[in-house]
Structure formats: C-alpha cells, structure tokens
Structure 1
C-alpha cells in the first residue's frame, strides 16, 4: 500500500481558507437577510459563488497538500464538477438560512442535503485523480466523514441562521463561529482523506493529461482568496452603506417629526397651534356624531397683558405667556386640548359628560389666571375673559364654533372682564357677520376684489412729490368699499394676510414700474407689512420675486413695519431687515413713538426712515407734550442718519411746524387724499403744494 504524507504549510493554509470561507458565508447571510427585491437574488448568487469557491478551495488545497510517491494530476472536468457541486450546495445553504423560520425538521433535511453535497464535492474531487486501480476507502472512516459532513452542515446552517441579523457583537460571534465551522469542514475533509487507501503499484491516470500540481496550489489559493476577499469587502461596504443609509433615514425621520411638530405647535409655549386645534375640533365633532356626548370650546383672552408687555418688555411678556400656558394646562386630561392661536389668545377644547360641566371648567380656568404670577422678582396680576360654546348646539363647523366662542369672549370682556360668558343667540348676529365676512375674504383675492389706493408724499422743503404710500381697500360686492380696519385683523387671525400681503407687494411694484417708465425714477412706493407677514419665512423671497417680475430697482420700494413689530423679537427682526436692506430695499419704522422701544436695538436696525405717528401730529397745535415728543423723534432720527416722514398732516400750522423741525417728507389729507392709480396722476398736479418755511 502506498504511504502518503502532507505538506503542513498547505494543511494550515487550507484551514485558514476554510475559516475565511465560513466567515464570508456568515457575513453574506446577514446581507441576504436585510436585502430587498432583486438585491436578495444578487446577494444569493454572489454568495453561492464566493462560498462555493471558498469551500472547494479548502478541499483542493487540502488535496494538493497530500503527497504520494508517484506523480499526481487532476482530471479537469471532474475537478470543475466538484467546484460546481460546492457552489450549488452553498447556494442551497444560503437559500435555506434566508427563510423566515428554520424548524428542526427543515434543519435536519437541509443538513442532509448540504452534507451530501459537500461529501459529493470531496469524493468527486478524489475521483479526479483517476487512480488505477481505484481508491479503496475504509468503511468506518468513510462513514465518519459523511457523518461529520452532515453534522458540520447542521451546525453551520443553525449558526448562520442565528447570526444573520446585525446585533451587538455580531462580528465577534461570527468570528468565533467561523473558526468552529472551519475546523468542522477541515475535519470532514481530512477524515475523508484518511479513509482513502492506495494499493501498491497504483498510478494516477490524470497525471499526464490532467491538471498538474506544480504551482496549482498557489493559483488556487490566490484565486480563492481574491474571490473571498472581494465578496467579504463588498459585503462589509454594503453593510456600512446600509448602516449609514439607516442612520440618514432615522435622521430624516427625526427631522420630519420635528418639522411636523413645529408646523402644528406654537414655538413659544409648545401648545398646539390653530392648525392642530382645527383638526382636534373636527375629531371631537366626529366622535360626538358617532358616539354621542358633547364638548365645550372656550376662547380665552388675557386682560391686562398688553400693559405688562409694554411696561416690562417682550421678553417678560413671553415668559408670562409660558406661565399662563403651564397653569391652564395643569390638571387637563389627555383627551382635552389647550391651544395658543396667537398673541394672548388661547382656546381650550374640553370633553364633557354633561353640558353643565362647562361652567365648573370655565370658572376654574378664570380662577387660575387671576392668581398673581411671580416673574423675575416682579409680581404680575392679570385676568382672563372667557367665551364658551357647546357642541352640539352653538355651531356646525370648527370655524363657526371658534367665531362664536370669540364673540362670547368679547361679551365677557365687555361685561367687566375677569369672567366667562356662554354664547347665545343675542351674540349670533355679530358672529355670523364675522363668519360671512371671513368667507367673503377667502374669495376676495381670487375674485380680484382688492384695490390699491395711493396717498402722495411730498418733499417738506421743495414741495415736490417724492412718491406714494400704497393703501389697501376691499371692494366688497355688498358692503361697498371697506377700509383695512374692517378686515385686516380677521385676515391676520386666519393667516390670509400672507396671500393678501403678497398681492399688495406685487401690485404696488407693478404700478411703481409704470411710473418709473413715465420718468419718476426718483419716487418711492411705500408698502405696509403686517406683523404676521413680517414674521413669515417667505417674506424676503416674496419681495425679491415682486421686484424681479416688474424689473423694479430695489430702492424704489419702501417697506413700512410698525415699531412694535420690529421690537417684538429684535434679534429675529434684525436678521430679516438686514436681508431686505442688503437687497437694496428701503425700510421705514412706522408709527414711531407709540410702542415699546430699546434705543440699543433701534440704532442697530438697518432702517432708512422713521415715520411719526399721526396721533402726535394731530394735537401739535394744542398739546405741548406732543410737540416735544415730535421734536425729540426728529432729533433722534437725524442723529441716527434716518429720513423723517410725518403722516396725518391736516393743517397749515402742522405743515409749517414739521417742516421747520426738519422733517424730510410729509403726507396727509392737507396734501392729498388716497386715490386709485388712474386718478392719482391726474389729481397730483392740483394738490395744494407744501410751503417751505
């Protein structure tokens, strides 16, 4: 009998290849488990190839490690067949462990099939030697190799199934498992090799025509390592990409949740805003219709909040609103909703067992607010006026319920404040009128019912026109021409002011472009911005868009914001005003002197103009205090390098006084009334010209 020997170096290399192939197989099962769609089939095909080549390489290197005292060779077709068997067996194993479940019966069947495949690969590879006479196998060791193949396959399948998910320390667990699986595969191979007996005088039939062993071990090793390394590298890169994608998806999901929260909640108090409140009211109405019961909607307005805000500043006012929110929310149930819908207005939606329970809830809320607030060493005292509507009974829609609750709140405020009032039919007329006005307002923009009237501005010294202020009017089909005080507050409450404000900007720029082309390049058109419009994120883009559409120079447009709006959040205002200023737009602080200002912030605002409120101008002739205030405003504006505009000029004395003080421009009924654009130019020549003094 021929006595064989082994190259220990190649035996060790075969063990390393087996361990690497096992680790690659375990890693690929993780990729298959997380892949979706066609990626599953691609990973399974690539995995079968890599794993099959790895197992076959270990087997073939192990065979090359075997030495006999005769020349050996390997039949090409049989060697390729053994490789194909290894790939198919690996593909079956990967398919099996990719299933959602792996019961014991299925595991046993899979182990038999895979064990048979590995054994077939091994003995097919041995047959590639084409020994003459044939190889005589020891029955005991032959059976042991088959048993080892089945047991090793069962262990490999079970380990691969258990470690296919990415859990903490999974790579460490796969490394340990790969060592065990590699040893099992090597054990099966060398047990099978030990079972082979070669008779004395045997010769290798494939020695001359088959694959030679010279250099073949290096080629197989390099090829198998390349395939396994590429597969493992791609798997690891894909895992990292998947982890990064998952991280990005989590970040995006978190960002979406935060954006959704911001869109549905008040940024100051964290309470639901008007949008979320409307949805909660709709849900409550559907629940009542489906299950019965009732709910109350309570409109809460704070009495005495504005004086606190003016006296102590907006920072203190914001802190007070937060404390009010905390008190009102205290003790509410999960099914109740407290919302802040703007300014110092809150709305409480309360589920009731009986309609009469609303009185107790309302009294409690009024009592909570009437207790003193302790803020920054100040004890502040305010109260609340509360209007109550019940559903069913006081409205059919969320808007109608809110409007009626608002009307009831104003009734409570008119009855002495610090109390509550239930809505009844006597308030219905005004509430319905407001509701109708709101519905008409929604259609007014679409039906082009808004108009711009233009009031001229004159140079105080020269008496020449220097531009106009655009003033909004609503041509209501039934009510006639409505001034802004009839609808602007309603537009701000509902958010319609944003769309209306964009229209005003666009129309004013369009008209100014016409005057610009007629030779009035030195004129400026002034447009008022509401507080809500100024705080809107799209303001800068709206202004830039209107200027671009009408090819109007930015310095032909003056945007007027009230002092209170500019100071409500000075840092935020600074950022918006700076963007507008950088664009080249003129900025005017309107109604100056009527609000709460900080000179520290005022000097930093990138404004070009101060506009003196008509309230100071009106009593100049009779009130020395007003004259002193106007003089101080003019001096302040001049010190800050700002243009000074006075509005509300109605008498010659006012005109003369303001001109002598140093105002740059004047406007008012003495100089010209607001007129539509078509009459503005025709009338401006006939207006009484200012007299320089």
Structure 2
C-alpha cells in the first residue's frame, strides 16, 4: 500500500475513472440485504433452536462475508478506468475469507458473552479488520497498468466506518428480536460498510506512464451489467436458502413448543391462548384415570402408546367444528365454538367408545375415563371454561365412565379445601405412604441410593396424584408438616435397611421451595438424624429452581449451611427453568438431576442428544454427580454411558418406584443379575 504523494511522479500522468450509478446502488443493496440476513441468523444461535448454535454463527458469517465481498465485487464492476483492467481469479475468491472469518469471530463473541462496551469494541475491531483486509486483497487482485496510492484521511474514514458498522449491531444487540430494529440495523451496517469501500476507492489515485495509450473502457456497460446480474442471482439464491433455514427452524421450534410429540395434537399452550381469546363456547376435558397405573406397571413409553391410541379414537370422531388437544399427560380436551345441546350428546356418544378394553401392543387394557364438560352460558366467561371443568375433577377425581356437566352451585373449590383439611387425618391414619425409586451407577452396577416419592391413598377419593395434592399443600404451611413426616420416615427406613444389610449411599428427599429457607428445616433435620442415629451424608436434599425465586441470597445461604453440615444437595429438574445455569453458578450443590424431558427422545432426537451431552459436560466439569431421570430403554442407557464418566440412572429401566417391602426383593434380584453379568 502506498500513501498519497503530493506531486505526480516524473514520467507519469493521472487517470480518473467513473462509476455506473445503478451498480453502485445495487452493491449497497447487496450488503444491506446480507447484513439483515446475517443478523437474523446470528440471533438463532441464542434461541431454542434445533440447529447447533455454531452452525448458525457459521451461516451468519457466510451471509455477512458474502455480502461484503459482493459489495466490493459489484463496486469494482461499477468502476471503470480508461485502460485495460483484469482480475486475478484466485485472489478475487480468496478475498472473501477475511470478511467471513472476521464476521464469525465477531458474531461468536457477541452471542457467547453478551454485550458490553468492551466486547462491542472488540467485536467491531474484528469486523473492521476483516472488511479492510478484504478490500486490500480485492484491490491486490486487480491487474492493471496503473499504480495507485491512498490518501491517509480517506483511509481513516474508511476504517472508522467499518468499525461503526458492527459497533451499532453490538450496542443494539439486545433489541434485535424486533423485526423493524433488525431491518434498520441491517441498513445502517450496509451503509457503513459501503462507505468503507467507496471512501477507500475515492481516496485512491491512479497513475500511468505517459506513453500508455488511453483507451475506451475495456469492460463495456453490457459486460459488467451481465456480471452483476449473475452475482445478483447467486446472492438471492444464497439469501433465500439461509432465510428458508430460519423459517424452517422456527417452524420446528413452534411445533415443539405447541404440539405434543407423541399424538401430534396441539398442546396446552395453544389451548390456553384460544381460551384467553374466548374462541370457544364449550369444552370437554377427558381424564384417563388409569394412565398413572399403566405407567407404573408397563413404563412411560407404553403409557404414551396408550394415549396415542386414545388420541386416534378422538381424531376419528366425526363431529364438525371441534378442536382436539392434549393438555397434560393424562388429559385430552375437545373444544367447540358452537353452543347448544348437540355437543353434550356427541360427548356421551364418544364416551361409549371407551366402554370396552383397548388393545395396546399385546395388552388388553380397560379404560377408566371421565369427561368434564363446561359451557359458556349463564354469564360464564368463556376464558373460565377450563377452570370450571377442572373444578369437577378436583371435587371428585374418581369419576368413571361419566360425562359430568359443570354446575356452579355444585362444583366449587371445596375439593382443595377438603384435601388441605384432611392432611392431618391422613398422617394419623397412615393414608400417606412413601415409595422409593433406585438410582444406579450403571458402569459399576451399584445402587447409589433411592429417591423418596410421596403417595396418598385417600379414604374418600382413593389414590390422589401428587400432582394434585402437593400444589394444594404448597399454598399453605401444611407442606412443611408433611415434609417433616417424610424426613422422619426416611430416617427410620435407613436404619431398617441397614439392619437388613441393604447397601446404598443415601436417600433423597424432596424439599418444597418455601421450606428450603425456613429456620425450622435445619432444626428438624438435625434433631431427627440425632434421634435415629443417621449420618447427614445418608440424606440428600432435593430442591428445585423455585426454591430460589423469592429470595436467591437466603436460598444460597441455606444450601451452604446444608453442605457444611454434611448433607448432599441436589438441584432437581435441571434445564426446565429459565435461570438454571445462573443458579448452578451460584449454588454449592453436590448433585445435578437432569429432567426426564431431555432423555425421552434419546437417541433419536439429535437436538436432545446435543443438549444432554452439554448438560452432562457442564455438570462433570464442575465435579458434580449427574443423575438422569426417566431412563427406560437400553439405547438410552448406552447413550448415557458413552457420554458420562460416572452415570447415575433413575428410571423404569432398572426399577419403578417401590414400596419399602418391595425394595428387598428387588435388591436381591438386582444383585443376582449383577453377579451373573460379572
């Protein structure tokens, strides 16, 4: 590169070129379009995407690099000198590499670490270096009889403009989810990068020797417009492909969030939105009472096959103007925008379809089903239809083979109040009981411990799911009373199992969120283990992210205290909350429990496999024990063993939740299998 000289070299004369304005405008359009595309693709790296974030960053850098290169290439086509101009093909192609590399590292830096003034400057410098490097390599590819020099002021302006182009993106990064912001920033980036190129070109002076014959432009207008047209087609194909990938990924993300993966029915998210919009006049919520028992007996995968068969019956239902949803694991809903008695008649006809056993694989399963029908009449708000239907189940969850119509005078919140009042009686009369699910180190074939799970066999309602009664108890201080009861029973069970020489490390107890920070909990734990002679290391306290929501600092201090006293602390359902990584960074936990939703589709789901590998890697790098819940098939066990140093597996593959008496026989069978494999 030569700096500007004030005098014309002896034996040389200055020549000047001209620009074709349409091509200049086209080049600016290219880089603006590419900037917008690159920004949009870069944002996908931080979204819940099914494509790896590094792939999105690479695609964003390709879009950005190609746009900058197109600006330079078309800008050079727009520029003509009165002498012969040729280009070195290899250098012309290679000039795209600095722009792509700089874009990749700049996007990677912003996406990985977020935005700050320091990172914005760093990323912008990278981008500026890439743009300027591409320009100079591109100019080096120009083969011409003339010499050229640069004006220092022009170069400074060009470098500043290239810096500003990405600095604007970095500063406004947090607002990029808004479409109009992306468009504006894309245009600003495109204009700044265009200024970089054209100011650099305007700062150049071309000299030729005096004996060089000045000719008409070697590249004719027709030639360069044809070349520009070819490049336009190529760029549009590239942009269309990249934007199509975004739309496809968003569609897959939308399906994953809003549709059940097994039945392919819309889920509660869509159902709730349409209820809020008051789209329906009647809904029928169908509850399948046997789903939990089927899961316990045959496993989760079989349970999903059962629901899939049920959904098929719903979809063959020939009524018009109805929508079908899967709103929970054991509930489906049918909704209609029409009023009148016909919907009730149709629901009763549908109920008759479930009077006979259902064939699922090789099993004949009786179907126990209840339908709660809610109608928007008598001044009932359509948005309340679901709450009204659910109040029927809350009052009498043991309905069988019935269609029950909501009646405001009959169905109310009395069921919740009744359960809350009955809990003290349940403790005294042994209606509450515990089951234990083993946790296995599959590489060592060793029983690491058990998780304690609470059950309620109500004297009036029969088996009441924990999903029903625990949220009710958590609204009051009754959940603390129950937790204290669980702690005592578990300590008692540890002593009993020790006497029977049943070997394990610890038993896990779920601690409700509002009890974690209570002053009473530590006292109850210390007093109970002292009374039974249990070591703190034999108990593991499982807490969820909700434990930290109300007062993060108090919860962190509580966990520190538990750890100082020797208790293990596990973070349960990791990955399902919005701030799990943040809490993981702050908490002194010993165990990370990965939610079963991440193992369900392993090994078939590439995305779930990547997420699971990532969580395991994070946990093991922090020297935490990793427990994977919901493991049911051999392929899942194999996958976990391949990607974990010391995998701890909990799920139906090894055992369902067992009552204390059942644990003995299971333990003997497990040891026999282990000795045979050894």
* Smaller-chain TM-score bracket: 0.3 to 0.5
The TM-score, its normalising length taken from structure 2, stands at 0.39
Calculate the TM-score normalised by the size of structure 1: 0.38
Structure of higher CA gyration radius? 1
